[in-house]
Amino acid sequence: MKRILLSATFLCAGVAAAFAQLPPAFDGSRTAVAEADPLSRTYIAPQRIVWMSGDGVRVKNPEALLKAGNGQAAMARGIEYCTLRSTETEKAAIILDYGRELHGGLQLVMGFGSDRRPSLVRIRFGESIGEANSQTLNTEWKVGFATDDHAKRDVTLEIPRDGAIEIGNTGFRFVRIDLLENNRTIAIKEARAILRFRDIPYVGSFRSSDKRLDSIWMTAAYTVHLNMQEYLWDGIKRDRLIWLGDMHPEVMSISRVFGANPIVPQSLDMACSQYPLPSWLNGMSAYSMWYLIIHKEWYYHHGDLAFLRSHRRYIEELVALMASKVEENGDETFGRKFLDWPSTPNQQGVEAGYRALLVWALKEAVELCRILELPASAELCRESIARISRQLKEPNGLKQAAALMAIAGLMDAGKACDEYVSVGGAKGFSTFYGYYMLEAQALAGQHQEAMDVIRRYWGGMLDMGATTFWEDFNLDWTANAARLDEWPVEGKKDIHGDFGDYCYPGYRHSLCHGWSSGPAAWLSEHVLGVRIVEPGCKTVRIEPHLGDLEWVEGAFPTPYGAIKISHRKRPDGKIDTQVNAPKQVKVIRQL
């Protein structure tokens, strides 16, 4: 890691020196030079051959593609190639599995061809086997079809006879290669995935006596990691955008897995520049509320006062704008109300949840205004909370709304969980707001119930072949459904292509969505048991909730280094805890 960073620094310095010596036609006044790419690249060989056409006749020696490779085309004797040969009536095709969800593209290293001209191929990237086999429909969103409006995942192009070429910039696990021309043979030396990622260490960790929970924590961490591209995205295949509301679970997980990372401040800065006041962030008032919640959480974890102060004026003006939308009698004029897509049909419940989100955001804004020395703005927040509280709504059975009401202090957490959130277990959970349902259960002391939901709901995606967590998931989908890494079976549903709703029907559904990473943050906070008491992690409380676990251990990032923690349950049910914290961090144990 250190050596890579040093090499990158040396390279950047060398590039800068080279530009300084270029002739006048290429000086800085005429050439815009962007900053160095913060992302790294590595190459991954396929892990298995999923399928090939022609029962081994059209495709020969596919096992050659499973070797590591070196990216260099060669014409020497003894080199193994996979050959694809088409006839007048039959085409050659192959599907490759890279073992887990990746962000990036494909590198083809060629060997030779039956024609000196380039050959025409079709490359399809898929987050599932079904998607890699699917047809693309960009004129509408429809179950059974894929789209490539956010990232091109279905590409027809010419490839060189003997050289190498790189294709694609999307989220995928599977790749299908079709040779499109008749009476043509191509030889592929390598078909390596290009993993484009932010090369950062996993500072936080979580391990326990339950391997399923461990896998869920790591999958959640990996999900948000893949979405840490140039900016913090919602998804790596679709929704490669900065969505402020969706960012909150990502920010919580990033803080607890990677610690402070510049991608969060940079994404907040970019969002504010894209949607200057009086516009709502992302055009949705709820997402401007999430902006305030994110700022408070980020400051409390990392203590970056300079960054918070850089948003002082925006926060002050946003608070004034929000206060102007709340009437004396508790009516409000914010316009469109949005929580998450699965809650949308329940408009009465959305109304209740929206008001709770507003109160939560304003409460966090009171603390932000105190830190930023904005007493008048803090008073506006308190007055707005009093006004909106004059018209509390009922959740109407909506778990999302009840969870927000518990978090905002508008409903007793025990009541919220007993009557709404915990009813039916994981039924009615969503990948985005599921995190807040878990938070409500923790407030109610229902940590065991929350762990059971994590195992059932997020674990249910693992059972269907997930290596990252999805934009949406419903346990009902799993009935008689084939896993995403299985070849479609007649009489079974396709877990990817046959489900999805709203803006994500069928293969448009993202199977790597950062907002689904909440379990990483929740398990670190409530099971490992680290809660931040003082900004910058200067004081933390250790309060583990092991439930049915025998032991838990892990690490929690702070600005001063990681806190290392181990909990062991004794035969009498009491917990032995060992904590090794940086000297700058005060630890309060509450066992």
pLDDT, one tens digit per residue, over 462-492 is 999 999 999 999 999 999 999 999 998 899 9
Mean pLDDT computed over 365-394: 97
Rounded Cα distance, 46 and 68, in Å: 9
What does the pLDDT average to over 355-359?
98
239-282 pLDDT, tens per residue?
Answer: 999 999 999 999 999 999 999 999 999 999 999 999 999 999 99
What pLDDT, on a 0 to 100 scale, did the predictor assign at position 141?
87
Secondary structure letter of residue 136 according to DSSP: B
**Distance (Å, rounded) from C-alpha 282 to C-alpha 242?**
8
User: pTM for the full model?
Assistant: 0.94
Tell me: domain 205-471+510-532, CATH 1.50.10.10, correct? yes
Cα separation, 333 vs 322, whole angstroms? 9
Residue 9's pLDDT is what? 44
| pLDDT per position as a tens digit, 88-125 | 999 999 999 999 999 999 999 998 878 889 999 999 99
Rounded mean pLDDT, 399-404: 98
Give the pLDDT band (50/70/90) at residue 418.
Answer: very high
Q: Is the pLDDT of residue 29 over 90?
A: no
- Percentage of the chain beyond pLDDT 90 is 87
- DSSP conformation letters of 378-436: HHHHHHHHHHHGGG----TT-HHHHHHHHHTTSS-HHHHIIIIITTTTTTT--TTTHHH
User: What's the average model confidence in pLDDT over 172-187?
Assistant: 96
Sorting pLDDT into bands at 50, 70 and 90, what band is 69? very high
> Among residues 100, 101, 98, which one has the least CA distance to residue 46?
98
pLDDT at residue number 32: 58
What's the pLDDT at 77?
75
Q: How confident is the model at residue 24 (pLDDT cuts 50, 70, 90)?
A: low
Q: Which two tokens stand for residue 531?
A: 């809660």
Task: Lowest mean pLDDT of 22-36, 193-207, 340-354, name the range.
Answer: 22-36
Q: How much is the mean pLDDT over the chain?
A: 93
The per-residue pLDDT for 116 is 85
State CA 513 to chain mean position distance.
4
Question: For residue 113, what pLDDT is reported?
Answer: 79
Q: Which pLDDT tens digit goes with each residue over 116-162?
A: 899 999 999 999 999 999 999 888 888 988 999 899 999 999 999 98
Q: What is the pLDDT of residue 54?
A: 82
Three-state secondary-structure class, residue 168:
strand
Mean pLDDT of 506-530: 97
Does domain 40-197 match CATH 2.60.120.260? yes
Q: What mean pLDDT comes out for the span 15-28?
A: 52
Tell which wins on pLDDT, 115 or 391.
391
Residue 8 has pLDDT above 60, yes or no: no
